[in-house]
């Protein structure tokens, strides 16, 4: 490696990531997933109207999720993800806050941080 070589962080989902230092601060193991869930969203302000939208999950951990929405979801919004039953497993809900929002051609990529003990069976 030459003295003037630069280190570059690479996102495993994209081979053409900008040269930026985005360090991973997750505290739980992230699992790549491909699933669709329903999200009930609330605005940042109390009393803001609720909306329902579909999210395509990209990754999931005990503390959060990454997803793509076809509608605009603002950073700071509260969302409840509705995970449907699968086989003998019961469905469950997770409540979280949108902490990252990036508008792309494929939709709005969002990061959701789950609230502690917000799972409802």
pLDDT tens per residue, range 21-68: 454 555 667 788 889 999 998 866 665 667 899 999 999 999 999 999
Tell me if the pTM is above 0.85: no
Q: How confident is the model at residue 20 (pLDDT cuts 50, 70, 90)?
A: very low
- Burial (CB < 10 A; 0-12, 13-18, 19+), residue 5, is exposed
What mean pLDDT, rounded, does the chain reach? 79
């Amino acid at each position: 490696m030459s003295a003037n070589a630069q280190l570059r962080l690479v996102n495993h989902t994209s081979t053409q990531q900008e040269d930026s230092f985005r360090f991973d601060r997750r505290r739980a193991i992230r699992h790549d997933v491909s699933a669709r869930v329903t999200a009930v969203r609330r605005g940042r302000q109390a009393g803001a109207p609720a909306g329902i939208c579909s999210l395509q999950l990209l990754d999931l951990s005990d503390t959060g999720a990454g997803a793509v929405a076809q509608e605009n979801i603002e950073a700071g919004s509260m969302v409840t993800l509705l995970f449907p039953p699968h086989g003998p497993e019961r469905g469950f809900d997770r409540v979280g806050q949108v902490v990252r929002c990036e508008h792309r051609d494929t939709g709005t990529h969002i990061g959701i941080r789950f609230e502690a003990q917000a799972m409802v069976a």
